[in-house]
Structure 1
Amino acid sequence: MSSVAPHRTATAKSHSSKTGKPVSRHPSATTAPASHHPDQTQTRPGNPHRATSQMDTKYVNMLLALDGIPRMHNLLASFFTWILLAGFVLFPGTFTSLQNINASTEVEQRLVNAVAHVPLFVIAWICCGIGAAGMCWLWWRWMYNYVWLVNRIFLPGLLNCLTGIISTLVNVFGVQHGEFTATSKSTIVVTSAGALVSGLLTLYYSLWKLRRVKKKHDEQIGKERAGTHGEGRVEMIKRKAQEKQPEAGMV
């Protein structure tokens, strides 16, 4: 064993003398990987032939962001739309009943146009104010999530305003025999204005802003269907854009 080591040493020396380059006897002396600065990060180059990810569309980001909206804000949206409806329902309770009043004199005419329950009338206005202010705040807070705004603010607000209009008309034709007093007229104006604003915002966000985002998503990913039992199904619109292109030099 002792004669083998000098033989290897002599062979290495003779090889280095012929080539002019030193020969290392340890594997650790060979080429070592270059050290990187600790602040430098290595990124994997993207695949240019990768199909478009569903995470790259604005519509999908809105849907995923629904889980990130605090539950308290969802509860507040339900509360504000409900308290708006409560104010609309309380308004008809302030109408003066005309069953025992014949508005023939000036005094009786004033009684007809007077508010039957002033505290209830004030509470109704407070409820409407709180509901409208809260809905406007949530609209400003989540103004870029069109899906949440339509489903949580505008559409429920529209339905509640329509409910207020129906309730007011029922009381006018049932209690006041179809005669509109000052209180019933103000109630109709408030509920109709709320329904008009909520309806216009619902149409604008659902048929314009949300529809444009959804159309762009369908062009990139495909048209989404609910499926037979809600399992979800995607119909490709631009299948050529989604197919992987063959790499150069490959058959």
Structure 2
Amino acid sequence: MLTAYDKNSFGTLIHLKIIFYETQIFNARYPACPGNYVCAKRKKRLVFNSGIGYGSYELDIKAYAGNYADQKFTQPVIWLGAEKKSILNKNGFVLDAGGGLAGSFKLKTKSTLSGPENVENNKGWSLGIHGLAKAGYELGGKNSSIVPLIGLGPYFIDLYNGAANDEDAFGNWIYGLQGYAGVEFSLNTIAVIPHINFGIADWGNSGRELHGEGDNYQNGQPSMFEAGISVALRL
């Protein structure tokens, strides 16, 4: 027959076991992060994003006959895209992947030819496509998080100067591998991401007539830099 002491000991043991299992369940659902944060544990989901920013590009070209042109392009940029969040999510480290379109209807062109014939206007347009894989570390609470991100991916941009006459109108193409750096601030289903995109390995060419024999080719390394802010809606 159990004594009062035995009953109290048995009850204490059962109570301790319940606390232990509840703690295990909590830790599984909300793993601890460094700095006394609780991991937000972003779910794998599709996100649509759009943003605005500013872009600057350089493409110097040369003809085999020796003529050359130094070209600079600037524009406001609009981004539209989609990506898959948290393809991988391990101990706060996350991996996202996606892509999208970028464009503008206010491309400014400054093309300086070796000689008197220069082209400068702000009536051009651009259209680009890009893909990105982004990795980061997630810090935050249950309904909000901050995720510093770095990324890498291919890109292609068509820059058309939009001159009034056909003789001065020409297309330009820059493409290659771009880098990405940004910080994602999330609250519930909305995320705001200031970010920069920059060329790492770039190539290009131009349809500009240099009054030389043969095709144009790039003269030095082209460059691409864009900065802006995007807003993402989680579905």
Q: Answer 1 or 2: which has greater strand percent.
A: 2
Q: Answer 1 or 2: which has greater helix percent.
A: 1
Whether TM-score is above 0.5 comes out as no
